[in-house]
Amino acid sequence: MPDRDRVLSLLRQHGWNATSFQALEPEFRYWFDGDDAALAYFDTSGAWVVAGPPIAAEDRLGDVARRFAQHARTRGKRVAFFGVEERFLRAIDMRAIAIGEQPRWDPREWTERHRGHRGLREQLRRARAKGVVVERVEVRVADGEMEQLIARWQQSRVMPPMAFLVELSPFGFAEERRFYVARANGAMQGLLVAVPVYQRDGWFFEDILRDPGAPNGMTETLVHAAMLDVAASGATFVTLGLAPLAGDARWLRITRAAMSGFYNFAGLRAFKNKLRPDAWDPIFLAWPNGSGPIPAIYDTLNAFAGGRIIEFGLRAMLRAPSPVLLALAALLVPWTLLVASANTERWFPSRHIQRAWVVFDAIMCGVLFLLSQRWRRELAIAAASAATADAVLTLAEAATYNVRRARSLCGWLIIAAAVAAPITAAALLWGGVRARRS
């Protein structure tokens, strides 16, 4: 029996963790402990990052995890268990930190719980007014439309696609999943993919996608329809998955604020909370004793980056997220002051050219700050065009005027910085325009 079929068989017996079905995604490797336990892990080359706890009976969780950690040590690999719940931590002595919270609902109580929820009712009304209709479908009926919707959705994302537990792969073992599509005027504009959580008689609403131009209320309508459908089939558990960095721990608050320009963590948590979950459960990152949190966090981030964290970081920066634009604006402040105070005869062909560069840099600083607060496509294109012209003119001035006057290493470094800065700004801004073309 192929490994993934063996894992599916074990999931049907022991799949309790909300993300357990995601162990079947194609990027994972498997380690089996006899015929009744397995682990799904991602190999980053330096570490094995496990997707949740072992797939095993509850009384076997600790033993299986310890044996896997020992096996990893013999291969020179670090180990981290991502996305585990308190159930796993009670079974084994490991260090752990909270990495977010996960909402859960009993779908049988959905209608009664939301009977007086005016906000939800209004969103459902808006979607109905736009002709939105949700139906559960077999994937073979609409897979082409789904792929087109997925492509449109991905084009609207600022962050590049990620791997590990958030890789978008909705068609594997399709017969085990449920697919709900939302249409407006006959066109597919929303998709919800639910995967089973076998041992909790429940479902994880793994993927919820909407067309960038979909009507308001589309997402709420999809969730509402799926909740009613799984409740009708006897489900007792539903989750929308992890809200990363949600929680009151100090490190979570600081990290959430620092990363807000890359991803709207607070907004994701607020959306899920708006749907009035029955409870929020803490989710953890765990690792064996004898190590610290930094390697485990790095290894997990590397897994989400597909094992290429530096390449992923560069690709993310080239999409011009808000923190990068804000950093460029901040760096321009001392640079503009340096240009304004520089010796004219040494660095510029004339005083008028020096003043022109000061004015240009001051304007660019303000534009970058505005773009970091709210992306405006037309303004971004103008800024990218200006930065490109800046790069060409700076290179020409450096070649015809500054190079022959450079007398020290410091001088050469200043020339290099002057040439590299507008080239970098132009690349980032054009990257942001391309990434946000939808």
State the helix-helix crossing angle for 351-373 and 377-397, rounded to 10 degrees. Answer: 150
User: Which H or E run includes 341?
Assistant: helix 322-341
Bridge partners, 49 (sequence order): 42, 80
Residue-wise pLDDT tens digits, 183-214 = 988 889 999 999 999 999 999 999 999 988 88
Give 341: exposed, middle or buried? Use CB within 10 Å, 0-12, 13-18, 19+: exposed
pLDDT by residue (tens digit) across 149-181?
Answer: 888 887 776 666 677 777 778 888 999 999 999
Q: Is the pLDDT of residue 142 over 70?
A: yes
Question: What is the percent of the chain with per-residue pLDDT over 90, rounded to a whole number?
Answer: 56
Q: What is the pTM of this model?
A: 0.81
| Residue 115 buriedness (CB in 10 A; 0-12 / 13-18 / 19+) | exposed
The predicted model gives 130-157 an average pLDDT of 84
Query: Residue 167: what pLDDT?
Result: 75
273-295 average pLDDT score: 91
Q: What pLDDT shows up at residue 288?
A: 92
Number of helices followed by number of strands (H, E) in the chain: 16, 12
SS (H, E, C) 45-92: CCEEEEECCCECCHHHHHHHHHHHHHHHHHCCCEEEEEEECHHHHCCC
Strand 178-184, strand 29-32: pairing: unpaired
Same CATH topology for 1-101+243-259+279-308 and 106-240: the answer is yes
Residue 251 has pLDDT above 90, yes or no: no
User: Is 1-101+243-259+279-308 a CATH 1.10.238 domain?
Assistant: no
- List, in sequence order, every residue forming a beta bridge with 238; answer none if it has no partner: 105, 203
Burial class (CB in 10 A: 0-12, 13-18, 19+), 92: buried
- Structure token pair of residue 19: 């993300």
Q: In a 10 Å sphere around its CB, with 0-12 CB exposed, 13-18 middle and 19+ buried, how is residue 143 labelled? A: middle
- The predicted pLDDT at position 92 comes to 92
Is residue 402 scored above 80 in pLDDT? yes
pLDDT confidence of residue 352: 92
Nearest to 38 by CA among 26, 19, 18, 52: 52
Q: What is the 3-state secondary structure (H, E, C) of 200-236?
A: HCEEEEEEEEECCCCCCCHHHHHHHHHHHHHHHCCCC
Give the contacts of 429 (CB within 8 A, at least 6 positions apart): 320, 380, 383, 384, 387
What is the rounded distance in angstroms from the CA atom of residue 401 to the CA atom of residue 188?
59
pLDDT at 160: 65
In the chain, where the domains are located: 1-101+243-259+279-308, 106-240, 322-435
List, in sequence order, every beta strand (DSSP E) within 338-427: none
What six digits make up the tokens of 251? 């490190």
Query: What is the structure's pLDDT at 239?
Result: 96
For residue 281, give the 3-state DSSP assignment: strand
d(CA 72, CA 42): 12
pLDDT bracket for residue 262 (50, 70, 90) = low
| Per-residue model confidence (pLDDT) at position 95 | 93
- For domain 106-240, give the fold: Aminopeptidase (3.40.630)
- In this prediction, residues 69-73 reach a mean pLDDT of 94
What pLDDT, on a 0 to 100 scale, did the predictor assign at position 334?
92
Query: Quick check: 360 pLDDT over 90?
Result: yes
pLDDT band at residue 437, thresholds of 50, 70 and 90? low
Convert the pLDDT of each residue in 295-330 to its tens digit: 999 999 889 888 787 877 777 777 778 888 888 999
Reported as a single tens digit per residue, the pLDDT across 3-39 is 999 999 999 999 999 999 999 998 899 999 999 999 9
Distances (CA, A) of 158 to 141, 202, 254: 30, 32, 22
pLDDT at 117 over 90: no
Mean pLDDT of 108-118: 84
Question: How far is 45 from 187, CA to CA, in rounded Å?
Answer: 43
User: What pLDDT, on a 0 to 100 scale, did the predictor assign at position 315?
Assistant: 76
Q: Looking at 29-43, 256-270, 276-290, which range is the least confident one? A: 256-270
Tokens standing for residue 3: 């490994």
pLDDT band at 254 (very low <50, low <70, confident <90, very high): confident
Name which residue leads in pLDDT, 218 or 307: 218
At 401, the pLDDT band (50, 70, 90 cuts) reads confident
Packing angle between helix 293-304 and helix 309-317, nearest 10 degrees? Answer: 70
Give CA–CA dist 13/281, Å, rounded.
Answer: 23
Cβ-count burial 385-406 (b if 16+ within 10 Å, e if not): ebbbebbeebeebbeeebeeeb
Residues in the chain: 438
Tell me how far apart the alpha carbons of residues 112 and 120 are, in angstroms, rounded to a whole number: 13
Compute the distance between CA of residue 20 and CA of residue 10 in angstroms, rounded to an integer. Answer: 10
Of 101-105, 149-153, 292-296, highest mean pLDDT: 101-105
pLDDT tier at 410, thresholds 50, 70, 90? confident
